[in-house]
Structure 1
Amino acid sequence: MTSLVSEIPAAPSAIALMHFSNRLTFETDCSDVFSSHEAGEVDFVLVDVRGPLAFERGHVPGAINIPTRLLTAERLADYPKYTLFVVYCAGPHCNGANKAAVKLAALGYPVKEMIGGVTGWLDEGFELSAASVANTPVACEC
C-alpha cells in the first residue's frame, strides 16, 4: 500500500541536497534574524516592505521601512551594491516580500526573504517594535 506522501517518490538525495541548499541562498527565517540581532552580528539590512501604517503598528526590531513600490535605484543609492537586504512582509499569505526581492535583485543587490514575515515572527514568540496596536488588521500596501 502506498500513501499519498510516497505516491510520488522523493527526489534522489543529491537532487534534494541541491534543491534545499539552493533555497537557503534565497531565504532566511525569523529565528536566524532574531539570533543575529541578539548576537550583534547584523551584516544585512532588514527591510519591512509593507506600508508605513502597518510598519508603525508593529514591525520586526531593527527593520527599516521601504514599501515595495519605493524600492528604486534613487532610494537605494546610498547602499553599496554588496549590501545584503533581507525583506519581509505580512506573512505567507502576502507576496510583497517576493516582489521586493525581485526589485532588489533587478537593481543588482543580494537579497533574501525572511520567510514567515510578521506572522512567522509572532509565531516564534518574538516581540514587535511599536506594537501597541499590532493586532489591528492593516492592509499590506506592498
Structure 2
Amino acid sequence: MPSAVTAVPAAPSSIAREHFATEFTFETDCWDVHDTLSRGADFVLLDVRSPALFAAGHIPGAINLPHGKIVRSKLEHWPADTLFVTYCAGPHCNGAARGALRLAELGRPVKIMAGGITGWLDEGFELTTDAAE
C-alpha cells in the first residue's frame, strides 16, 4: 500500500523542471539576499510590516513600506525596472505576498524573500534597530 507521500505520483521531470524553475522568478531566499546585500544590492529590499515592528528589528538595508502604503507616488524615485524584494514576519504571514501583489499591479518587478524575518534569524543573520535604514 502506498504511503501518503507516494500515493500521488511525482510529476514528470519536464513538468517538475518547469514548475521549480518558475518558482525562482517569484522568490529568493534569505541567504541570497544577505550575500547580495554584503556586496552591494542590485534591488530594493522592502520590509512591508508596520513601522512599530520595523523599529523593533529589521534587516539592515531594508526600507519600511507597509504593504497597504505601496502606491505609485512612493515608488517614483526608483527607475521603473528596479527589482523590489518584499519580506514580512515569516512563513506564517502573507504581508510579503500582499506587498508583492501591489508592486506587480503597479507594473514593478518584484520577488518575495522566502522565510521573512523568521528565515533570516534561522540563518543566523542579525537584525538592526537603526532608524536610518
Q: What TM-score do the two structures reach when normalised by structure 2?
A: 0.95
Residue number in structure 2 paired with 1:118? 117
Q: What TM-score do the two structures reach when normalised by structure 1?
A: 0.89
Residue number in structure 1 paired with 2:23? 23
Alignment partner of 1:97 is 2:96? yes
1:39 Cα offset (Å): 2.5
Alignment partner of 1:52 is 2:71? no
**Partner SS, residue 25 of structure 1:** coil
Alignment partner of 1:9 is 2:42? no
| Cα distance in 2 between the residues matched to 1:36 and 1:80 | 20
User: Structure 2: where are the runs of 5+ without partners?
Assistant: none
| Cα distance in 1 between the residues matched to 2:37 and 2:75 | 22
- Percent identity of paired positions between Structure 1 and Structure 2: 58
Q: Deviations over 1:56-77 (max 9, x none)?
A: 1000111000011110001111
Alignment partner of 1:83 is 2:67? no
1:111 Cα offset (Å): 0.1
**What is the total number of aligned residue pairs between the two structures?**
130
Q: Which amino acid in the other structure matches residue 4 of structure 1?
A: A
Residue number in structure 2 paired with 1:134? none
> What RMSD, in angstroms, separates the aligned Cα atoms of the two structures?
1.0
Residue number in structure 2 paired with 1:34? 34
| Cα distance in 2 between the residues matched to 1:108 and 1:123 | 32
Q: Which amino acid in the other structure matches residue 22 of structure 1?
A: T
Q: Deviations over 1:85-129 (max 9, x none)?
A: 000000111101101000000101000000100011001111001
